[in-house]
Structure 1
Amino acid sequence: MVRFAQLQLRDPAGAEDAVQEALAAALSGQGRFSGQAALKTWVFAILKNKIVDTLRLRQRMATITPLVADDKDEEDDFAVLFNTRGHWRAEDRPHAWGDPETTLAQQQFWAVFEACLTRLPDSVARVFMMREFLDFDTPGICQELAITTSHCHVILHRARMRLRLCLEQRWFTTEAHPC
């Protein structure tokens, strides 16, 4: 759980806090656990919500720094970028920013992929995420979930096939991409 939170939050202390909050919420809300899913799945869902809450809070708390503190400082900062003739120094030339349309398409693709991933059954999604997002090896997954190696491979195959079908229907079509 901590590893997953660290991947999402990119902050070890924040990840530990999110996991602790998720475990505390699960403990205090154990009466609401219906047993329809595995306990691990339920607690992991609570963790995902805590991660989303943390990310939203970070966005709200982000401060906007002034672009220019002082005109004199700005001139000093920029002076080192140019040669005596006023041209860009070769090593300080601006880098290509890439194609904004490509970046947007990539963001849209990952949004569709995430939607497809959430459509997988919990047990299948858990194995797939452990393997592909958390970098667990097959023996680690099998040990954690108490399943056989062959069952793990079957689950991964099913996950990949379902994701492929979903992506073919929702992304790799000639129609416009959903947002």
Structure 2
Amino acid sequence: MLHTLHPEQWVDNYADKLYAFAKARVSSEETARDIVQDTFLSAWKAREGFRGEASEKSWLYTICRNKITDHYRKAAHSLEELGMDDYGSDLFTDEGHWRKDRLPEEWQTTSARLETKEFYNVLDFCKNKLKELQKAVFVMKYIDDIDTDEICKILNITPSNYWVLVHRAKLQLRDCLDKSWFKK
């Protein structure tokens, strides 16, 4: 079955959903809005090439995902994002062991508490505190389930940089969740 496009209905039918999709993957609301706007603009420009093999919704989400990837690529080129004097250096001794005053505490919680909307709001808050490139790597790995090699290719980073970014993102998320959720 071939699908058709209805551009006059895109904003009403897809703007909020595409915004939520983008917002979950980038740090700022403004960036998410820009990505949705770019999605609609690109779709409009490419509408003559739409073959109808996928649904309109799938086609728009694919364009949006590509715009998010383009955003990650731009962020990956920032030297500041790749700096090594980053978060986490105060957590460990020179020998690589946890500092006693920074040891993470055991999380004592029930699975029901983790499944609440409030927890996901706190997780989203913590995720948005990550640097753009750390967030990109974290989202691509743990939310979008993209293969490590593909992430490195998309972001044009080395596997070493990738693992440093993953490690730092996890440390920051744990620290933020400790402070914002588990020690409430």
Structure of larger gyration radius: 1
Higher relative CO (Cα under 8 Å, sequence separation at least 6) belongs to 2
Work out whether the TM-score is over 0.5.
no
TM-score by length of 1: 0.45
